[in-house]
Structure 1
Amino acid sequence: MRAAFAAFALALTAVSAQDQVPKYESSLNMTIDPGTVDDATKAAWCNAQSNTCNTLCDDSPSTDDCGYDDLSYECLCSSNDSAPGLQYYQQTMPTLICKELFSQCIQQHVGDARSQRACKSNIDDLCGTLNPNKADVGSDDDEEDDDDDEASETTATTAAPTATDDSTSEDSVTTTDSDDLAGPTPGPKGVAAMAALGLMVALV
């Protein structure tokens, strides 16, 4: 009976630990009290958000705003007037808020391993990890086009020796034609035949 009660209490503790740590669908719906973040950090966050928005929009954002006081932000790219996937990248406001919430969660549950694991799975695992400088933006398409052009040039250069080979073939044909000029070699046989005919006429 005591063992069953202990198991029940342990399960209740685990559920309680999970309940104490909020669950999120994405870092995009995470919010933080701006008052828990110092001014220097908020300024750095806004600067990072603006720089990353510019990078993800291929240096052409139509909207790039960050509210220093309330940590609000908006990023839209002029190419399609839509927001890039900020939640997937480092140095964006969603990811910076996510990391701060995780840090606060760990501090709030010092000595509580179960709750700290919940901090990891419910918060930290949702924080963006991609490098914005390696994002596939419009300029990469141009580079691919350039690569295609270079490949075409390489192919053309490689094909050039084939033209030389063709000219060699033409030389061979020319040589064959010059051999055909030896066709008159039967001429002497024709002369001999005419001489024999003349001899026969003389004998007659």
Structure 2
Amino acid sequence: MLSQLFLVIASGLTLVNSQSAISIDPSSVPLSTREAWCSSQTSSCPLLCLQVPGASGSPSSNKCTAETLVYSCICNNNVSPNASEYSQTIPYYVCTEKNNQCVKACQGNSGCQSDCRTDNPCGAQAPKRVNTTTSTTMAATSTATTEALNTMAGGATGAAPRLITVDMGQVYGLCVLVGGFIAGFAVLL
């Protein structure tokens, strides 16, 4: 009896977890568009699960219903990633469409249109930096490269880099000259 109660509660939580908070009337969007949104959602789910600690890219549930825009993305560790922080997901598309409908309702009032998008931002507002090692390494590499270029250009480390300029007229002239020689040899053969 207790195990059945647990199963009912777990099923209910899964259902709640899989429901998207729809803030538009799905029928206000063409079915073909909603089908494309669902396709993107189910394609994104495995990638989202890779961002969840302890989960693999094989979700235990990955569904989307185009008619209602209800989706489910549950990773193999029973955690649902926050799909609203990513693009190419149902929450992102619904948010964007809600903003588009708001802008349309403003009937050309630019202040109202701006407020539609400013008051309801879509996607991640403060994304987590998952791979900070790469960005630190890239910054160090960039600094080392800049210092090497400064040294090669005759500048001191930390000094503004000297730009090596090329007169494009001279380059163009050289190309015309070489092209003329090649054309001349081609005619002789």
Task: Give me the TM-score of the superposition, normalised by structure 1.
Answer: 0.47
One-letter amino acid matched to 1:31? S
If asked which structure has higher relative contact order (CA below 8 Å, sep 6+), I would say 1
2:66 maps to 1:94 = no
- The answer to whether the 8 Å contact 1:45/1:96 transfers is yes
- The number of residues matched between the two structures is 107
- Decide which structure has greater helix share: 1
- The answer to whether the 8 Å contact 2:84/2:92 transfers is yes
Which of 38, 41, 51 matches 1:46?
38
Which of 56, 60, 63 matches 1:62?
60
Which of 86, 108, 111 matches 2:108?
111
One-letter amino acid matched to 1:69? E
- The answer to whether the 8 Å contact 1:56/1:135 transfers is no
2:81 maps to 1:84 = yes
Task: Give me the TM-score of the superposition, normalised by structure 2.
Answer: 0.50
One-letter amino acid matched to 1:54? P
Shift of 1:113: 2.4
List per-residue Cα deviations over 1:135-183 (Å, max 9, x = no partner): 85xxx8xxx9xxxxxxxxxxxxxxxxxxxxxxxxxxxxxxxxxxxxxxx
Structure showing greater Rg: 1
| RMSD between superposed Cα atoms in Å | 2.7
Shift of 1:56: 1.1
2:25 maps to 1:33 = yes
Looking at structure 2, the residues matched to 97 and 37 of structure 1 have their Cα atoms a distance apart, in angstroms, of 10
Looking at structure 1, the residues matched to 107 and 28 of structure 2 have their Cα atoms a distance apart, in angstroms, of 18
Structure 2 unaligned blocks of 5 or more = 1-19, 51-56, 135-189
2:69 maps to 1:71 = yes
Shift of 1:129: 4.9
Match of 1:10 in 2: none
Structure 1 consecutive aligned stretches of length 4 or more whose deviation exceeds 6 Å: none
